[in-house]
């Protein structure tokens, strides 16, 4: 898992994966795919790539709450959220959402 330093000299929040590399260049050029397995149309040098921690779950940040629902029996709330740099959404508990907020503050 990688985080990429783009032309703007800032790292992105999106996570990428190395799909292949070009051996006949010095330094090596790496080609990456995003988390949807879509090929990124440019290549990168190793100094533009930063290895993400294998357990990057603890660094995920909630981008927005998409939907909310309450269990009629337990009255507990769950939230469908999207995360910064990751595709799709995920249902999380209110407690977990508060943990994300606390980690962000």
> Which long-range contacts link 98-103 to residues 24+ away (Cβ below 8 Å)?
100/60, 100/61, 100/62, 101/62
> Which residue in 48, 50, 45, 81 sits closest to 63, CA to CA?
81
Does the pTM of the predicted model rise above 0.85?
no
Tokens of 52: 């993400």
> Which residue in 41, 39, 53, 48 sits closest to 8, CA to CA?
48
Q: How far is it, in rounded angstroms, from Cα 52 to Cα 37?
A: 17
β partners of residue 17: 33
Q: List the domain boundaries for the chain.
A: 2-51, 60-104
Q: What is the pLDDT of residue 43?
A: 87
Tokens of 65: 């709450």
Q: What is the pLDDT of residue 4?
A: 57
Q: What is the pLDDT of residue 91?
A: 92
Tokens of 81: 């959220």
Q: What is the pLDDT of residue 5?
A: 53
For residue 88, give the DSSP letter.
S
Q: What is the pLDDT of residue 77?
A: 92
Q: What is the pLDDT of residue 57?
A: 66
Q: Enumerate residue ranges in the chain where pLDDT < 70.
A: 1-13, 53-59, 102-105
Q: How far is it, in rounded angstroms, from Cα 82 to Cα 89?
A: 5
């Amino acid at each position: 898992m990688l985080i990429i330093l783009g032309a703007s000299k800032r790292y992105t929040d999106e996570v990428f994966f190395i799909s292949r590399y070009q051996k006949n260049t010095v330094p090596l050029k790496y080609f990456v795919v995003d988390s949807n397995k879509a090929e990124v149309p440019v290549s990168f040098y190793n100094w533009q790539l930063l290895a993400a921690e294998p357990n990057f779950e603890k660094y995920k940040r909630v981008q927005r709450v998409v939907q909310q629902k309450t269990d009629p029996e337990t009255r507990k709330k769950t939230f469908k959220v999207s995360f910064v740099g990751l595709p799709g959404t995920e249902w999380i508990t209110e407690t977990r959402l508060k943990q994300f907020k606390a980690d962000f503050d």
